[in-house]
């Protein structure tokens, strides 16, 4: 397959792309840099309004489905499923300007370029952003694209309770994004997502573009421990039912286990809370989340099982009750080999260095992969830092990725 990448004189406008990234970054901006646009928060609503407004301004037909996914459709010369360019605009509470936003806004830039040049594609083109990709407020992550793919039921998603006790259904209605379009089966000719790498590989290697081969498996579990609140000074150590102590042991075990398994296994305890949380009170309750990831499904399942067994045993030894609730389960995914090759060849054709690589982070693209050819384009993250307000990619690097996206999208959509 040889990408034609035509028409040769088209190019994205780096200043316009950066302008939209910076404007969206002002919504939910944190004092000192970065953004917090947790899914279905007020800031997410404002971000959605802003991006949907840009979509309409570019002449896209905007629809919102029942899980709040937003699609902007540009008609093609022929009817049929569109080439979908997507990502997300929700962020973690310590987010940067690029995670998710880049993929959506580069999609708008592609449309802008085509509009300016009055180019009609053969297939329709859609730019989309999906509800709650991050999963930081409501689990599971990739929720909107997950419902679209059939990975998760709509009713189950709407009933999901967030870390603040709100439900997805209520919050969608509150922010005005409980749309009326049915969440249909995925009908996309193919799916493309440009994203920052969020890891150190491209930056360390001085490589411009990652041709993403797939996404590793993800396993999130919430552990709750129920002990007995008691006096810190008078309760002998042998008589305690310290839920905090058990949670701490499980957190240390998660780290130890990842080291023992080795290879690409990672383990993170990102949430750890004890109650009542007072200096002189033995914690009666504790909650922790474990995020385990591996490219190998069997190794990941075994790691999950071992951590759970350890938690059960540690709780029993302390006379503490224990519950484990699965929050998210995603199998490893491989992207379409032909589309990955097209990304690679297109980047090379534009004079960029390219590396094939798996993704360490979860992405909406993985929900499309079982239903249509899907692929991702990565650009470097400075120092491999992400989910951090200092997340950074140089404008020229962002533009290089957007240029590859434009060429691949044109190749797949065809020019009339
Ligand atoms: C999404 O950002 C993830 O947790 O991989
Ligand atoms: Mn992302
Ligand atoms: Mn993220």
Last residue of a domain, one of 330, 355, 380: 330
Q: Are residues 50 and 146 in the same domain?
A: yes
Whole-number Å distance, alpha carbon 107 to ligand 3 midpoint, is 18
Q: Is 362 a pocket residue for ligand 1 (Cβ < 6 Å)?
A: yes
| Average pLDDT rounded to a whole number, residues 311-327 | 98
pLDDT bracket for residue 387 (50, 70, 90): very high
Q: Are residues 141 and 233 in the same domain?
A: no
Q: Are residues 159 and 66 in the same domain?
A: yes
Q: What is the number of the ligand closest to the CA of 98? A: 2
Q: What is the number of the ligand closest to the CA of 270? A: 1
Q: Are residues 206 and 221 in the same domain?
A: no
| Average pLDDT rounded to a whole number, residues 304-308 | 98
pLDDT bracket for residue 132 (50, 70, 90): very high
387: left (phi over 0), alpha (psi -120 to 50) or beta: left
Q: Are residues 320 and 337 in the same domain?
A: no
Is residue 3 one of the residues assigned to a domain?
A: no
Q: Are residues 324 and 338 in the same domain?
A: no
Q: Are residues 156 and 78 in the same domain?
A: yes
214-251 confidence digits (pLDDT tens): 999 999 999 999 999 999 999 999 999 999 999 999 99
Whole-number Å distance, alpha carbon 113 to ligand 1 midpoint, is 30
240-281 confidence digits (pLDDT tens): 999 999 999 999 999 999 999 999 999 999 999 999 999 999
Q: What is the pLDDT of residue 50?
A: 99
Tokens 């973690």 belong to residue: 92
Q: Are residues 164 and 40 in the same domain?
A: yes
Share of the chain above pLDDT 70, in %: 98
Q: What is the pLDDT of residue 375?
A: 97
Residue 2 scores a pLDDT above 90: no
DSSP per-residue letters across 86-102? EE-----TTB-SSTTHH
| Residue 46 burial (CB count, 10 A) | 16
Last residue of a domain, one of 292, 310, 330: 330
Q: How far apart are CA 132 and CA 10, in angstroms?
A: 33
| Average pLDDT rounded to a whole number, residues 92-113 | 98
Task: Assign residue 226 the CATH number of its domain.
Answer: 3.30.70.360
Q: Are residues 282 and 147 in the same domain?
A: no
Q: What is the pLDDT of residue 187?
A: 86
Q: What is the pLDDT of residue 406?
A: 98
| Average pLDDT rounded to a whole number, residues 200-222 | 98
Q: How far apart are CA 376 and CA 336, in angstroms?
A: 10
Task: Assign residue 210 the CATH number of its domain.
Answer: 3.40.630.10
Q: Where are the alpha helices (DSSP H) in 193-296?
A: 201-205, 243-261
Q: Are residues 25 and 109 in the same domain?
A: yes
Which residue of 212, 332, 387, 391 sits with most ligand 1 atoms within 8 Å of its CB, as the best mutation to test the pocket? 387
Whole-number Å distance, alpha carbon 53 to ligand 1 midpoint, is 27
pTM score of the predicted model: 0.95
Q: Are residues 286 and 343 in the same domain?
A: no
Is residue 4 one of the residues assigned to a domain?
A: no
Residue 5 scores a pLDDT above 80: no
Is residue 2 one of the residues assigned to a domain?
A: no
| Average pLDDT rounded to a whole number, residues 335-344 | 98
CB-count exposure of residue 259 (10 Å: 0-12, 13-18, 19+): exposed
Q: What is the pLDDT of residue 24?
A: 98
| Residue whose CA lies nearest to ligand 1 atom number 2 | 134
Q: What is the total count of domains within the chain?
A: 2
| Average pLDDT rounded to a whole number, residues 188-210 | 98
Q: How far apart are CA 49 and CA 15, in angstroms?
A: 22
| Average pLDDT rounded to a whole number, residues 294-311 | 98
Q: What is the number of the ligand closest to the CA of 130? A: 2
Residue 10 scores a pLDDT above 60: yes
pLDDT bracket for residue 184 (50, 70, 90): confident
pLDDT bracket for residue 3 (50, 70, 90): very low
Q: What is the pLDDT of residue 7?
A: 64
Is residue 407 one of the residues assigned to a domain?
A: yes
Q: Are residues 52 and 154 in the same domain?
A: yes
Note down the domain range covering 258.
217-330
Q: How far apart are CA 57 and CA 296, in angstroms?
A: 44
398-415 confidence digits (pLDDT tens): 999 999 999 999 999 999
Return the structure tokens found at 74: 């540009």
Whole-number Å distance, alpha carbon 90 to ligand 2 midpoint, is 8
Q: What is the pLDDT of residue 175?
A: 98
Alpha-carbon distances of 366 from 203, 233, 369, rounded to whole Å:
23, 52, 5
Which residue of 212, 361, 367 sits with most ligand 1 atoms within 8 Å of its CB, as the best mutation to test the pocket? 361
Q: Is 375 a pocket residue for ligand 1 (Cβ < 6 Å)?
A: no
Q: What is the pLDDT of residue 9?
A: 77
Is residue 8 one of the residues assigned to a domain?
A: no
């Amino acid at each position: 397959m040889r990408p034609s990448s035509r028409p040769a004189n088209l190019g994205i406008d780096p200043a316009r792309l950066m302008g939209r990234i910076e404007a969206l970054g002002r919504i939910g901006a944190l004092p000192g840099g970065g953004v917090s646009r947790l899914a279905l928060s007020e800031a997410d609503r404002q971000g959605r309004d802003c991006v949907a407004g840009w979509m309409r301004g570019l002449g896209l037909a905007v629809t919102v489905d029942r899980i709040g996914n937003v699609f902007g459709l540009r008609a093609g010369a022929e009817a049929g499923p569109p080439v979908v360019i997507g990502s997300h605009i929700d962020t973690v509470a310590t987010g940067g300007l690029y995670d998710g936003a880049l993929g959506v806004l580069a999609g708008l830039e592609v449309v802008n370029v085509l509009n300016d040049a009055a180019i009609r594609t053969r297939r329709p083109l859609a730019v989309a952003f999906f509800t709650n990709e991050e999963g930081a407020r409501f689990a599971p992550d990739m929720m909107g694209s997950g419902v679209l793919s059939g990975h998760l039921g709509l009713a189950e998603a709407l009933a999901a309770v967030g870390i603040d006790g709100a439900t997805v259904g209520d919050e969608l209605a509150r922010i005005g994004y409980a749309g009326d379009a049915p969440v249909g089966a995925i009908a996309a000719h193919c799916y493309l997502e440009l994203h920052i790498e969020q890891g150190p590989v491209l930056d360390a290697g001085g490589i411009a573009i990652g041709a993403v081969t797939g996404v590793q498996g993800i396993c999130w579990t919430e552990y709750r421990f129920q002990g007995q609140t008691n006096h810190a000074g008078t309760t002998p150590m042998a008589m305690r039912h310290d839920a905090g102590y058990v949670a701490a042991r499980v957190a240390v075990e998660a780290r130890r286990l990842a080291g023992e398994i080795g290879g690409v296994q990672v383990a993170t305890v990102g949430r750890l809370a004890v109650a009542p949380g007072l200096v002189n009170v033995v914690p009666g309750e504790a909650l922790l989340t474990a995020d385990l990831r591996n490219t190998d499904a069997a190794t990941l399942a075994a790691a999950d099982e071992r951590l759970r067994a350890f938690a059960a045993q540690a709780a029993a030894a302390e006379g503490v009750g224990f519950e484990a609730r699965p929050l998210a389960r995603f199998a490893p995914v491989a992207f379409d080999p032909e589309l990955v090759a097209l990304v690679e060849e297109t980047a090379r054709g534009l004079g960029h260095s390219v590396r094939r690589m798996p993704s360490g982070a979860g992405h909406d693209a993985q929900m499309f992969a079982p239903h249509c050819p899907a692929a991702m384009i990565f650009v470097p993250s400075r120092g491999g830092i992400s989910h951090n307000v200092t997340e950074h990619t140089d404008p020229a690097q962002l533009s290089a990725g957007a240029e590859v996206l434009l060429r691949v999208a044109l190749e797949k959509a065809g020019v009339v």
